[in-house]
Structure 1
Amino acid sequence: MNSASKHGPAVTGVDTHVHILRVNASLAADRHSAPSRDTTVPELFGLLDAQGLSHAVLTAPSFYGEDNTVLLDALAQGESRLLGTITAGPETSVVELQRLARSGVRGIRCNLIGRPETGLRTLAEKAAATGLHLELLAEADRIPALGASVLAAGGVLVLDHFGLDADLGFVLEAVAGGDTWVKLSAPYRLPNRAVAADRAAELLAHRPDRLLWGSDWPWVSHEHEGFGYSSTVDWLGEWVPEEHLRRAVLADNPARLFGLAAAG
């Protein structure tokens, strides 16, 4: 669990998966998507404020590769409301990760969809040594082995987007161990919405204290499907109908993981 000091205003709700995008930023050669528009910190704050949410976690999109410039620039504008999950490689030093942690970085994202696993265990060890979690996105059939590697290295594992439709037995066993967290986010990235609802119910029955919520705003490659930011908040209400559990997912759980001060 992250041991970072308390950061910013008291937590009323955390969107743990958003993207700040700049169309004119350099893109990685092996990207599988690209930004369709700029998104800004003021725009994000407007969305958060309309829903009564206090914080957001900027998640590095894969199309910028290991260039975190856009994300770090946004963190500098964050008014203590923003934290970050960067991209990094196994060659990144612990000293550099410590420097980034002082800037509000709380995790390292590994999007391995369509990419080989290269140095994941080394990166997980460095993340653990720095107090950062390692956030994993990969093809569903690869997630159990990759996730187990992160945990074996002593890392704290965060699974994007319900863990996709990876073997639910692995996901439930991992969250039961206490060092794995799952984001209830982006149901449109699963085979269908029913799969997302079923996984949410199973996870809620086992470890509601290890669940997070994210909007996935601005929904790269799904921008034109007809839903808005408030819809993503409404989905959480469908998955987690009990108010006290919904507060845990929105506020209490991310406050623990990210080292934030929960509202009284």
Structure 2
Amino acid sequence: MPHTRTAPILGIDSHAHVFSRDLQLTSARRYTPDYDATLALYLANLARHGLSHGVLVQPSFLGTDNSYLLAALAQAPEQLRGVVVVARDISRAELQAMATQGVTGIRLNLMGKPLPDFTEPEWQVLFGHIAELDWHIELHRQVEDLPQLVRALLPFGCKIVVDHFGRPDARLGVNQPGFIELLDLGTTGQLWMKVSAIYRLAGDARQNLEFACSVLPLLEQSLGPQRLVWGSDWPHTQHEQDVGYGAVMEQLRALGCSESLRQAMLVDSPAQLFRFVLPENT
């Protein structure tokens, strides 16, 4: 069993994946891994870079079989939380069982998929369960579609977490379709943003980092630091040859965050969102 720790919380990585190439992959996948991203490797990265806790997110190529993620949570229950991918007709009892295992949200990875109609009865029942559990709904979709998706989810009263800056195109600047509209929705109090995966912002390395640096103050102003969380996106699927854990930590430093914002993004905000217990509250 990997070495685990509980307190103090030195830093929470709010977005990472674990998997094995030997697992059964969903047929509707966009990516097939040819390596293993094990929990032991992940925990070693956390320790090496001065972090202590993490959030494991179900990768899209594993579909709704969350068994590998749940097994990982069981090995370090105080140190890890989970975000799962589920079928719309999953029962309340199944979700409750996952909650006892450290799951705090579901992910809707809508990249490359038709936009869902959240007025359909199955979605409404599912989101009702999510609201009752006080979980969050994590959205992964290009920024131009996010405002309409967020507005459709707001009436359910759930916390909404947007992946990877909302997947904007760094080459288009802040005035691209959807981005300012998404920022405006930060005033609802239900929206959170993952400051993660700068390398997925469609430009070259310089453009991506410059965009991230320029929009972080806007995110801090619109959502507030209490709703920003940082994630490594380890093991950086589809970018493994160019990106490593050290590189994303360097990007975090390059953002030039104030100490208070860094504390918020790496400790206070994710501790609240993912239900980690801060030492002073134990």
Please give the TM-score of this superposition, normalised by the length of structure 2: 0.86
Q: CA deviation at 1:136?
A: 0.4
Separation in structure 1 between the aligned mates of residue 184 and residue 33 of structure 2, nearest angstrom: 35
1:250 matched residue in structure 2? 266
Separation in structure 1 between the aligned mates of residue 211 and residue 160 of structure 2, nearest angstrom: 22
Matched, 1:198 2:214: yes
| Compared CA separation, residues 179 and 124, structure 1 to 2 (3 A) | same
Task: Report the AA paired with residue 167 of structure 1.
Answer: G
Separation in structure 2 between the aligned mates of residue 34 and residue 57 of structure 1, nearest angstrom: 22
Can you give the 5+ residue segments of structure 1 that lack an aligned partner in the other structure? Answer: 1-6
RMSD: 1.8
Matched, 1:224 2:241: yes
SS in 1 for 2:263: helix
1:14-39 deviation per Cα after TM superposition (whole angstroms, max 9, x unaligned): 00100001101111111111223111
Separation in structure 2 between the aligned mates of residue 239 and residue 203 of structure 1, nearest angstrom: 13
Higher relative contact order (CA 8 A, sep 6+): 1
SS in 2 for 1:16: strand
SS in 2 for 1:182: strand
SS in 2 for 1:201: helix
Q: CA deviation at 1:125?
A: 2.7
Separation in structure 2 between the aligned mates of residue 204 and residue 130 of structure 1, nearest angstrom: 27
SS in 2 for 1:171: helix
SS in 2 for 1:83: strand
Separation in structure 1 between the aligned mates of residue 149 and residue 253 of structure 2, nearest angstrom: 31
SS in 2 for 1:30: coil
1:146-177 deviation per Cα after TM superposition (whole angstroms, max 9, x unaligned): 12112122111000000111622232222222
Q: Which has the larger radius of gyration?
A: 2
1:4 matched residue in structure 2? none
Counterpart of 1:173 (choices 169, 184, 188) is 184
1:166-200 deviation per Cα after TM superposition (whole angstroms, max 9, x unaligned): 62223222222211110000011112313322222
Q: CA deviation at 1:86?
A: 0.3
Report which stretch shifted further, 168-177 or 52-61: 168-177
Separation in structure 2 between the aligned mates of residue 18 and residue 87 of structure 1, nearest angstrom: 14
Separation in structure 1 between the aligned mates of residue 70 and residue 103 of structure 2, nearest angstrom: 9
| Structure 2 contact 29–61 (Cα < 8 Å) conserved | yes
Matches within 5 A, 1:68-87: 68-87=66-85
Matches within 5 A, 1:42-61: 42-61=40-59
Counterpart of 2:229 (choices 198, 208, 212) is 212
Structure 1 segments of 4+ aligned residues over 6 angstroms from their partners: none
SS in 2 for 1:98: helix
Task: Report the AA paired with residue 41 of structure 1.
Answer: L
Separation in structure 1 between the aligned mates of residue 130 and residue 215 of structure 2, nearest angstrom: 28
Q: CA deviation at 1:127?
A: 1.1
1:163 matched residue in structure 2? 166
